[in-house]
Amino acid sequence: MFSRREFLMAATATSALLGSGMAGSWSRLMAQQGLTEDTLLSMEAKGNVTLIHITDIHAQLKPLYFREPSINLGLGEVAGLPPHVTGADFLKLYNIAAGSPDAYALTSEDFTALAGTYGRMGGMDRVATIIKRIRAERGADNVLLLDGGDTWQGSYTANKTLGQDMIAVMNALEPDAMTGHWEFTYGTDRVKEAIDSLPFAFLGSNIYDNEWDEPAFEPWKMFERGGSKVAVIGQAFPYTPIANPRWMMPGWSFGIREEDIAKHVEEARAEGADVVVLLSHNGFDVDRKLASRVEGIDVILTGHTHDALPEPVNVGGTLVIASGSNGKFVSRVDLDVKDGKVAGYAFRLIPVFSDVITPDADMAALIDEVRAPYSEELARKLGTTESLLYRRGNFNGTFDDLICRALLEERDAQIALSPGFRWGTSLLPGQDITVEDVHNACAMTYPAVYRNSMSGQMLKDILEDVADNLFNKDPYYQQGGDMVRVGGMGYVIEPGKDIGERISGMTLLATGETIDPARDYVVAGWASVNEGTEGPAIWDVVESHITKTPTITLPENQSVTVKL
Amino acid sequence: MTLTRRDALGLAAGTVAFLTFGGKLAFAAAEETAAAISAFTGGKEPATGKITLDAPEIAENGNTVPVGVTVESPMTADDHVVSVMILAEGNPNPQVATFNFTLMSGTAEAKTRIRLAKTQNVVAIAKMSDGSTYIDKKEVKVTIGGCGG
């Protein structure tokens, strides 16, 4: 459906301006001249329909720092393919100049220095400006705004309001549809109540009623835009009841269910759809595989794995589009629909430079309003960091090192386990650490910190299990997320091996002794999926630790050895 | 008479004539799986195609994993599905269920829920009225869970 030539026309907003593929020199030029809102947002319109995609905002209303991963391995067929390309390799692949705005937005290269140059990204008031401008330029009747989910969770205020702050903000943006994942961790009753209140569709083709094995959500919806019929199929995160507590959503079953998607594509085409879009929270590799197996999808707007790619990946004529996370990016896809099919397209991944894009006044006021009841607590300073604090990456992040240190010391444990979530914002050296910052790294509805004894064998089993969820060669067996973070223990991992054989060299760091499968160790951790887990909330544990050591310095983590 | 939803399903299930759960404790599960398949097919190697096994890639709850089988067949006197056997290769007792069909069944479809002790292949084999057999297989992972996102 899409030619190679059209492919070359797709690029991030900061590099596409000359349309010449001279991304590098243009980026440097812009860095010299300074970015402007016009250069970021202007785009030569194409065709008759525009899709706007935002996903994985994780309740981040305000501009923030978010360091992209420096390591994001892909195995098997996807080894070395985007999004499994990072750092300097990423810059080379997409012809992006080091030190340019794109380099800052899309990679971890020189992150701290470039963050100083280009500032914070995101902010839903800036996102509102972008969406309003696209609607004004294209005509609101020609635009679909689609939210890929993981929207309602990830901040202090979202946790306090059970996602209501985000719902208020998103409603003001007037999306046409959304799907979900962390949304479900507010529990069945709250999710039903919230969805019933939405003035737009919540789509979930793959969510079934557990008891009757029947579809539980509206699977897809037809929209008329620009004189064309656009079918949007919603795909929630397939492993929500496995990666998150099943007891919080006991009546619903998920799964990939590609045969259902194929059925909905057929139904949509039979009802006259000119364009079929999958609004997905599958994760990139799952969607790439799905695109190769299910016929007839024009565009997959993918989410969950938080990848930001400056070009669509074309899988047999299906465009797979990854729009990043945390409000850092907005994707704009212009489609030229002719004779019942997509004849051409143009794409821009718009990086939301918060110092460049004017905040939308109405949205800024609404954000202030939903945060106002908590403003004092959000701003309460707990300490200062001398190190860059970040989470994203396959094996460890400094923010997780801080959390693990808090778990070990506050809970008097030998080993700490902290989940490898892909959400969680970054803090630059010299920044204050506030209550809001701590919650950005751990705000969720099952925050209890457990303190258990676990055998060495059980610890190995857990590491093997999580590693297989991340590195299974078949994407359909991957759950997204990154490797569980470990404090107090080192290990060696060979991602390319099979389950049971990846982990070795488990060592108790305090003494240097080898972990004994038969011996028990005191382990502290949080975010257990088991019902009835008891203990203080993770943010209280981290706060207590920072209060005792208010200047945070973290040495480079060398406890995980990766063998490729 | 008013039929409730549950009653209706109960009746529908009743049209699958004989549901037999495998008995007695196993020797090595793999050997028993192979032996059971061989006994079912009469020693022939089953072909692929015609039968589709529907099972999740990763079980949400290993204690109750929904599985379904569908076999393409006109279900006529000359050409119909006689029975379908489901096996869980890694369970202590691999023989999970055998569904027997008749012309009255109309279609050869069945669903049940099975317990899986660990990650393993689930196997479904159909036996047709002409004696031919067809197999489908799917790995179902049983995980500890808890770190996605």
- Which residue, among A465, A518, A524, A528, has the nearest Cα to A489 in the 3D structure? A524
Q: Test B149 with A423 for CB contact under 8 angstroms.
A: yes
Give the whole-angstrom CA distance, residue A183 versus residue A170: 13
- The residue with greater pLDDT, B16 or B75, is B75
Q: Report the relative pairing of strands A381-385 and A432-434 from DSSP bridges.
A: antiparallel
Q: Which residue of B has its CA nearest to A500?
A: B119
Give the whole-angstrom CA distance, residue A158 versus residue A2: 40
Q: Which residue of A has its CA nearest to B141?
A: A477
ipTM summary value:
0.86
Residue A211: predicted pLDDT? 87
Residue A224: predicted pLDDT? 98
Q: Which candidate from B57, B141, B145 shows the least CB-CB separation from A529? A: B145
Q: Test B60 with A479 for CB contact under 8 angstroms.
A: no
pLDDT by position in tens, chain A (length 564): 444 334 434 446 665 443 333 344 444 445 545 788 998 998 899 999 999 999 999 999 999 999 999 999 999 999 999 999 999 999 999 999 999 999 999 999 999 999 999 999 999 999 999 999 999 999 999 999 999 999 999 999 999 999 999 999 999 999 999 999 999 999 999 999 999 999 999 999 999 998 888 999 999 999 999 999 999 999 999 999 999 999 999 999 999 999 999 999 999 999 999 999 999 999 999 999 999 999 999 999 999 999 999 999 999 999 999 999 999 999 999 999 999 999 999 999 999 999 999 999 999 999 999 999 999 999 999 999 999 999 999 999 999 999 999 999 999 999 999 999 999 999 999 999 999 999 999 999 999 999 999 999 999 999 999 999 999 999 999 998 999 999 999 999 999 999 999 999 999 999 999 999 999 999 999 999 999 999 999 999 999 999 999 999 998 899 999 998
- Helices first, then strands: H and E counts in chain A: 19, 26
Give the whole-angstrom CA distance, residue B118 versus residue A102: 46
- Which residue, among A552, A559, A558, has the nearest Cα to A387 in the 3D structure? A552
Residues of A within 8 A of B59 (CB-CB) are: 242
Q: Test A461 with B143 for CB contact under 8 angstroms.
A: no
Q: Test A528 with B146 for CB contact under 8 angstroms.
A: yes
Residue B97 and residue B85 in contact, taking contact as beta carbons nearer than 8 Å: yes
Asked if the C-beta of A461 comes within 8 angstroms of chain B's C-beta atoms, the answer is yes
Spatial CB neighbours of A563, under 8 Å, sequence gap ≥ 6:
A492, A493, A494
* Alpha helices (runs of H) in A426-471, residue ranges in sequence order: 435-442, 456-471
Residue A42: predicted pLDDT? 87
Asked if the C-beta of B78 comes within 8 angstroms of chain A's C-beta atoms, the answer is no
Strand A252-253's sheet: what is its strand order? A214-215, A208-209, A252-253
Q: What mean pLDDT is reported for chain B?
A: 82
Residues paired with A482 in a beta bridge? A420
Q: Which candidate from A241, A461, A484 shows the least CB-CB separation from B60? A: A241
Q: Which candidate from B5, B111, B148 shows the least CB-CB separation from A239? A: B148
Chain-centroid distance of CA A357 in Å reads 22
Give the domains, in start order, of chain B with CATH numbers: 15-140 (2.60.40.2470)
What is the identity of the amino acid at A66?
F
Q: How many residues does chain B have?
A: 149
For the segment(s) A4-369, the CATH number from 3.40.1190.20, 3.60.21.10, 3.30.70.3170, 3.40.50.300 is: 3.60.21.10
Six-digit token pair at B98? 């055998």
Q: Test A479 with B111 for CB contact under 8 angstroms.
A: no
Residues of A within 8 A of B111 (CB-CB) are: 213
Longest pairwise C-alpha distance within chain A: 70
Helix, strand or coil for residue A307? coil
Helix, strand or coil for residue A44? coil
The average pLDDT across B105-132 equals 95
Residue B94: predicted pLDDT? 92
Percent of chain B with pLDDT over 70: 78
Residues of B within 8 A of A477 (CB-CB) are: 57-58, 139, 141
Residues of B within 8 A of A464 (CB-CB) are: none
Give the whole-angstrom CA distance, residue B105 versus residue A222: 37
Cis peptide upstream of residue A83 (ω within 30 degrees of 0): yes
The DSSP code sequence of A302-344 is: E-SS--B-SS-EEETTEEEEEB-STTSEEEEEEEEEETTEEEE
Asked if the C-beta of B5 comes within 8 angstroms of chain A's C-beta atoms, the answer is yes
**A4-369 and A380-562 share one CATH topology?**
no
Residue A443: predicted pLDDT? 98
Q: Exposed, middle or buried by CB within 10 Å (0-12, 13-18, 19+), for B7?
A: exposed
pLDDT for B13 beyond 80:
no
Q: Which residue of B has its CA nearest to A252?
A: B60
Asked if the C-beta of A152 comes within 8 angstroms of chain B's C-beta atoms, the answer is no
CATH architecture of A380-562: Alpha-Beta Complex (3.90)
Q: Report pTM.
A: 0.91
Residue A105: predicted pLDDT? 97
- Which residue, among A56, A65, A28, A230, has the nearest Cα to A154 in the 3D structure? A56
Q: Test B58 with A242 for CB contact under 8 angstroms.
A: yes
The average pLDDT across B56-80 equals 95
Asked if the C-beta of A237 comes within 8 angstroms of chain B's C-beta atoms, the answer is yes
| Phi, psi of A17, rounded to the nearest 5 degrees | -65, -40
Return the domain boundaries, chain A: 4-369, 380-562
Q: Test A242 with B145 for CB contact under 8 angstroms.
A: yes
Q: Which residue of A has its CA nearest to B56?
A: A255
User: What are the pLDDT digits (tens) for B16-59?
Assistant: 333 333 334 444 677 888 999 999 999 999 999 999 999 999 99
- The residue with greater pLDDT, B145 or A416, is A416
B51: left (phi over 0), alpha (psi -120 to 50) or beta: beta
pLDDT band at B145 (very low <50, low <70, confident <90, very high): low
Q: Which residue has the tokens 């389950």?
A: A499
